Amino acid sequence: MKRRIGILTSGGDCPGLNAAIRGVARAAYETFDAEIIGIMDGYRGLIEGEYRLMSKPDFSGILTLGGTILGTSRRPFREMRVIGDDNVDKVAAMKKTYENLKLDCLVTLGGNGTHKTANLLSEEGLNVIGLPKTIDNDIYGTDFTFGFHTAVEIATDVIDRLHTTAASHGRCMVVEIMGNKAGWLTLYAGMAGGADAILLPEIPYDLDKVAKMVETRAKNNKAFSIIAVAEGAMDEKESKLKRKERDAKRKEQGFHGIADRIARQLTELVGVEARAVVPGHIQRGGSPCAYDRVLSTQFGVHAADLIKKGKYGVSVALVGNEVTHNKLSDIAGVAKPVPTDHQMVDLARNIGISFGD
């Protein structure tokens, strides 16, 4: 029996999306009679009925390709059941496209928002399988998401390169790493890059303690410091505010990003020459690293096996060394921040890295 499989990529792009698409397709073609429909630009394509029938050559030569051949877009979950000025019932429209295409299942590649919508569609009766991608590594139920390790390598390379210029000029370099709600990427890249301080959203920092770390290094004849800070990091005072209050206060202050603010504050407090560096979307671009190529392929093949077995309403995951799956209803909308007592945090503290607390 032929199975018609819809595939879409939603949310921010990251390395490994094409490798995962390829894994699903090639395993499906090899193990059962499959027809694959590419849904264009994420859930927008599913809502508006934009798709293309794909064939085997479409999945050739994309293992190393960054981005996504299907295109992507952001559709916030909170808006999915809201009927806007266009008078479109998004959930009804997605179900209609699914039915019109005579799909047997839908494979969604994305992060937290994508998984929440995938679970919504599953609850509406659609056969859905999720694949966890995000450079933030903040999807509950899986040890790692694809895209994360590539981003760690890129961010680490940035920090590595900052060491030489910081040492040459005796500067304090504050590098802003992606991660608004979770600090996994900053933690791993900071560790791998030999940062002197790592500031995470999960551990509010005291600027005076960060300044003391910089001063102590200077007294010990270490003329430079490297601070890796997650874009969502906040100081202790901000951590006591609600998000809207914090955003409003930052707007009043002319906030241009956390690294910029910390660099300016350290210059005023310590008198060091501090510079902010923001690699930004470089961290989510380019070809996936070897680890992510393998992980994406493993996830894609496992998804194809789930389709063959008719097991839906789940998201693929890596737990320990085993590729497995979780119920969408168990993981959708569940946060995965860095625990403050995580082994990596303890390890960092034991080698003298400051978290500003």
Please give the backbone phi and psi of residue 67, each rounded to the nearest 5 degrees, phi first: 70, -150
| Catalytic residue flag (residue 260) | no
With CA atoms as reference, report the closest residue to 187 among 40, 26, 28, 346: 346
58 band by pLDDT with thresholds 50, 70 and 90? very high
- In degrees, rounded to 5, the angle at the alpha carbon of residue 315 between the alpha carbons of residues 125 and 328 is 50
**Helix 17-31 vs helix 290-309: crossing angle, to nearest 10:** 40
Q: Is the pLDDT of residue 192 over 90?
A: yes
Q: Is the pLDDT of residue 228 over 90?
A: yes
Tell me the three state secondary structure of residue 177.
Answer: strand
Residue 46, burial from CB neighbour count under 10 angstroms (0-12, 13-18, 19+): buried
220 band by pLDDT with thresholds 50, 70 and 90? confident
Computed over every residue of the chain, the mean pLDDT equals 95
Tokens of 310: 């008719």
Q: What is the mean pLDDT of residues 146-164?
A: 96
Rounded-to-integer distance, Cα 128 and Cα 268, Å: 53
255-314: per-residue pLDDT in tens? 889 999 999 999 998 888 899 999 999 999 999 999 999 999 999 999 999 999 999 999
The active-site residue out of 13, 41, 136, 235 is 136
Q: According to the model, what pLDDT value does residue 243 have?
A: 87
Q: Is the pLDDT of residue 253 over 90?
A: no
275-284: per-residue pLDDT in tens? 999 999 999 9
Percent of the residues in the chain that have a pLDDT greater than 90, as a whole number: 85
89-99: per-residue pLDDT in tens? 999 999 999 99
* Structural domains for the chain: 3-146+288-331 (3.40.50.450), 151-284 (3.40.50.460)
Q: Is the pLDDT of residue 218 over 90?
A: no
Q: According to the model, what pLDDT value does residue 141 have?
A: 97
Provide the greatest CA pair distance for the chain: 73
221 band by pLDDT with thresholds 50, 70 and 90? confident
Computed on alpha carbons and rounded to an integer, the radius of gyration of the chain in Å comes to 22
